A = this chain, B = another copy of it.
Amino acid sequence: MIDYRIDRGSGVPAYVQIVEQTERALRMGFLKVGDKLPTAKEVVAATAINPNTVLRAYRDLEQTGLVELRRGLGTFVTRSLARPGAEDDSPLRREVTGWVARARAEGLERADVLAMVTAALDAHDNEHDSHPRATGNAGRRTHDRA
Contacts and interface: CB of A to CB of B under 8 A. Distances in A.
Interface of A: 2-7, 9-13, 15-17, 19-21, 23-25, 27-28, 30, 50, 63, 72, 83-86, 92-93, 95-97, 99-104, 106-121, 123-125, 128, 133-146
Given A10-B138, A100-B117, 5 more contacts: A7-B136, A10-B139, A10-B142, A50-B72, A110-B125
B24 A16 contact: no
Q: Could you say how many copies of this chain the assembly holds?
A: 4
Contacts of A25: 135
Nearest to A12: B12
A100 to B, nearest CB: 4
A24 B119 contact: yes
